[in-house]
């Protein structure tokens, strides 16, 4: 499920990516890379693991490796810069820093002399990745390493270099394992009770934890996975709609039709008649707000909020 466990494609084997967007939010997802989100203007609502906050112009949000994160910024004007890079770029200075809070405010950046450095970093990464002049990888890597080292120097973090194996980190790992399991076994009878038992949670605690970390409830997430798979089969195979429904975890065609229409806005039969049925533009999030559409030719998790 690419929109949730994101595996990013890079132009080369050099795993650094940058882009800038206007009025952007994104769906709950996680990846092994580090993600820096700079609010160039406006504001956005962000949730990283179990911390939800409002980031304003000049702020920096840090999403460490493996952390589930999403942005629900409908109705907010913003211009955001994204830098995503593999932890190997940092070399030995990475050592999972365990920042106590993912938000570095504009005031904190200015007090540490990092505001100008951050803007210079973004400009450097953008320019070097685009122009690809000799030694551009070395220039980008050294710039990221320097800025990361300064973040570790100034931004509050845990006393030890390695995060403790506490309940919070274990919960995150268990949730990632559950999401991977759903991606592979979506056709099975995966109940909320079963999902909760995999994490050794009560049903109510699991429901609250899942909604807090993912931004949507468990049943909605499971249906998103199943409908995405069903839509792919509808467009790419000659299988009958009933067979597709059963192969994607739906017990009967009536339930399949209802859920499919709730998520995509059309029935499976209507979906087949669409001229350009891009499933990634017709998800639950898109249906919940008609003013949202996916950004073309980029990360499947990004959505554009029209004003």
Read off the pLDDT of residues 276-297 as tens digits, 9 standing for 90 and up: 655 444 444 344 444 444 444 4
28-37, 71-80, 90-99, 159-168: which is most confident: 28-37
Q: Is the Cβ–Cβ distance between 78 and 44 less than 8 Å?
A: yes
Do 248 and 229 meet the contact criterion of CB atoms below 8 Å apart?
A: yes
Helical spans, DSSP H, in 136-252: 136-154, 167-185, 192-198, 203-214, 218-236, 241-247
Least confident of 56-60, 67-71, 120-124: 67-71
- pLDDT average, residue stretch 76-95: 90
- pLDDT for 123 equals 98
Q: What are the φ/ψ torsions at residue 43 (nearest 5 degrees)?
A: -155, 160
Alpha helices in 13-114 (DSSP H): 106-111
Contact predicate 60/109, CB 8 Å: yes
pLDDT at 168 over 80: no
pLDDT in tens, 103-162: 999 999 999 999 999 999 999 999 999 999 999 999 999 999 999 999 999 998 775 444
Give the three-state DSSP class for 10: coil
Whole-angstrom distance, CA of residue 80 vs CA of residue 42: 9
Higher pLDDT pick, 90 / 23: 90
Residue 267 class from Cβ within 10 Å (0-12 exposed, 13-18 middle, 19+ buried)?
middle
Q: What is the pLDDT of residue 18?
A: 93
Tally helices (H) and strands (E) across the chain: 11, 10
Q: Which residues pair with 17 in a beta bridge?
A: 84
How does pLDDT run across 44-53, given as a tens digit for each residue? 999 898 788 9
Spatial separation of the C-alpha atoms in residues 236 and 44, rounded to whole Å: 37
All domains of the chain in start order, with CATH: 16-154 (2.60.120.280), 167-274 (1.10.10.60)
* Residue that the structure tokens 């000049």 belong to: 58
What residue spans of the chain are helical by DSSP H? 106-111, 115-131, 136-154, 167-185, 192-198, 203-214, 218-236, 241-247, 253-264, 268-272, 284-288
Predicted local distance difference test score (pLDDT) of residue 276: 61
Q: Which of 150, 141, 30, 131 is nearest to 89 (CA)?
A: 141
3 state DSSP class of 273 = coil
What tokens does 230 get? 């069903």
pLDDT band at 214 (very low <50, low <70, confident <90, very high): confident
On average, the pLDDT of the chain sits at 83
Give the count of beta carbons closer than 10 Å to the beta carbon of residue 112.
15
DSSP 8-state secondary structure symbol assigned to residue 100? S
| Position with higher pLDDT, 27 vs 211 | 211
Rounded to 5 degrees, what are φ and ψ at 13? -80, 5
Looking at residue 213, what is its pLDDT?
A: 81
List residues bridging with 42 in a β-sheet: 78
Over 70: is that where the pLDDT of 256 sits? yes
């Amino acid at each position: 499920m690419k929109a949730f466990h994101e595996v990013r494609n890079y132009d080369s084997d050099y795993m650094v990516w940058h882009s800038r967007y206007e009025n952007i939010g994104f769906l709950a997802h996680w990846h092994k890379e580090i993600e820096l989100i700079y609010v160039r203007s406006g504001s956005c609502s962000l949730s990283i693991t179990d911390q939800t906050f409002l980031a304003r112009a000049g702020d920096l949000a840090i999403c460490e490796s493996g952390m589930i994160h999403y942005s629900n910024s409908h109705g907010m004007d913003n211009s955001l810069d994204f830098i995503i890079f593999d932890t190997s770029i940092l070399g030995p200075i990475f050592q999972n820093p365990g920042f106590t809070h993912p938000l570095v405010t504009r005031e904190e950046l200015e007090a540490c002399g990092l505001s100008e450095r951050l803007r210079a970093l973004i400009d450097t990464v953008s320019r070097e990745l685009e122009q690809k002049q000799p030694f551009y990888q070395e220039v980008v890597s050294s710039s990221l390493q320097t800025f990361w080292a300064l973040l570790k120097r100034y931004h509050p973090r845990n006393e030890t270099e390695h995060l403790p194996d506490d309940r919070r980190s274990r919960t995150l790992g268990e949730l990632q394992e559950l999401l991977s399991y759903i991606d592979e076994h979506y056709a099975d009878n995966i109940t909320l009770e079963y999902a909760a038992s995999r994490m050794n949670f009560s049903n109510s605690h699991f429901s609250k934890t899942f909604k807090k970390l993912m931004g949507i409830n468990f049943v909605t997430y499971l249906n998103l996975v199943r409908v995405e798979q069903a839509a792919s089969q509808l467009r790419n195979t000659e299988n009958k709609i009933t067979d597709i429904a059963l192969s994607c975890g739906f017990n009967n065609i009536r339930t399949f039709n209802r859920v499919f229409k709730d998520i995509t806005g059309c029935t499976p039969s209507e979906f087949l008649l669409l001229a350009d049925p891009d499933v990634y533009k017709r998800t639950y999030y898109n249906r919940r707000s008609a003013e949202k559409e996916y950004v073309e030719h980029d990360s499947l998790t990004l959505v554009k909020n029209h004003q």
